[in-house]
Amino acid sequence: MCDGMRHDPIVAEAEACVSELPYRVEKPWGYEVIWAKADRYVGKILHIEPGQVLSLQYHNKKDESIYVLSGEIILRIQQGERVMERRVRAGEAFHVP
């Protein structure tokens, strides 16, 4: 590596993660593969076993994008007092602000 890049904090963070990624985390509903991890970002692939349900999530300071590789999921998203239900099928994506 050239010395000019060695002092770049973004490059240093990326290099620190390279040896650790990707890794698999077992969950009660299946597993997730963490393929990217930074201070304010995590890239994951979730494998959800058929019929399983994930717990409710609350995000104060981040957005989330969901892309379904196979099968389908039902998202329940609360917006104020209203709960929205959205079916997302294989090949479709949904952005959760």
Q: What is the pLDDT of residues 21-62, one digit of tens each?
A: 899 999 999 999 999 888 878 889 999 999 999 988 777 777
Rounded distance between C-alpha atoms, residue 43 and residue 32, angstroms: 10
Task: Give the model confidence (pLDDT) of 3-19 as tens digits.
Answer: 445 567 666 666 665 55
Domain boundaries, the chain: 21-96
Structure-token match 């997302």, residue found? 88
CA 47/CA 88 separation, integer angstroms: 15
pTM (2 d.p.): 0.67
* Measured CA distances, 15 to 34, 36, 97 (Å): 16, 12, 29
Q: In Å, what is the CA distance from 10 to each residue of 4, 5, 7, 15, 87?
A: 13, 9, 9, 9, 37
Write down the pLDDT at residue 61. Answer: 73
